Amino acid sequence: MFINSLLLLPYACLVRIKSFFPGFKGNSHTQEVCSTHWQALIDSVFPGDMLQSVVAVLLIFLQAVMLNRLVIKNRITKAYTLFPGMFYILLVSVFFDNLGLSIYTIANTFAIASLSSSFSIYKKYKPEIALFRSGFWTGLASLFAPFYLLLLVVNIISLSSLRTFSFRELLQILIGFWSTIIISFALVYFYEISTFWSSISLDHFTSISLPTLSPESIFLALMLLLVLISVMMNGTFLLRKSLPSKKKISMLYILLLTTPAILLANCGMNTNILYYLWIPMSIFVSMIVINFKNLLITEFLHLVLLAIIINNHFQFIQLI
Nearest to 9 by CA among 43, 54, 73, 45: 54
Comparing 242 with 38, which gets the higher pLDDT?
A: 242
CA distance between the termini of the chain: 40
Least confident of 83-87, 163-167, 202-206, 299-303: 202-206
Rounded to the nearest integer, the mean pLDDT of the chain is 83
Comparing 28 with 166, which gets the higher pLDDT?
A: 166
CA distances from 206 to 33, 177, 221, 257, 275 (A): 11, 26, 22, 22, 18
For residue 97, the one-letter residue type is D
Alpha carbons within 13 A on the beta-carbon side of 83: 24
Chain mean position to CA 227? 15
pLDDT band at 240 (very low <50, low <70, confident <90, very high): confident
Nearest to 276 by CA among 149, 120, 137: 149
pLDDT of 59 over the 90 cut: yes
Please check whether residue 144 is in contact with residue 106, taking contact to mean a CB–CB distance below 8 angstroms. Answer: yes
Nearest to 222 by CA among 90, 25, 47: 90
**Alpha helices, DSSP H only, in the chain?**
2-5, 8-15, 29-34, 36-45, 49-73, 83-91, 103-119, 128-144, 150-162, 167-191, 196-199, 215-232, 234-238, 243-258, 275-290, 295-314
Please check whether residue 226 is in contact with residue 90, taking contact to mean a CB–CB distance below 8 angstroms. Answer: no
Question: What are 166-174's contacts with CB under 8 Å, separation 24+?
Answer: 169/127, 169/128, 169/131, 172/127, 172/128, 172/131, 172/132, 172/135, 173/131, 173/132, 173/134, 173/135, 174/135
Comparing 258 with 241, which gets the higher pLDDT?
A: 258
Comparing 244 with 34, which gets the higher pLDDT?
A: 244
pLDDT band at 256 (very low <50, low <70, confident <90, very high): very high
pLDDT band at 214 (very low <50, low <70, confident <90, very high): low
Please check whether residue 103 is in contact with residue 35, taking contact to mean a CB–CB distance below 8 angstroms. Answer: yes
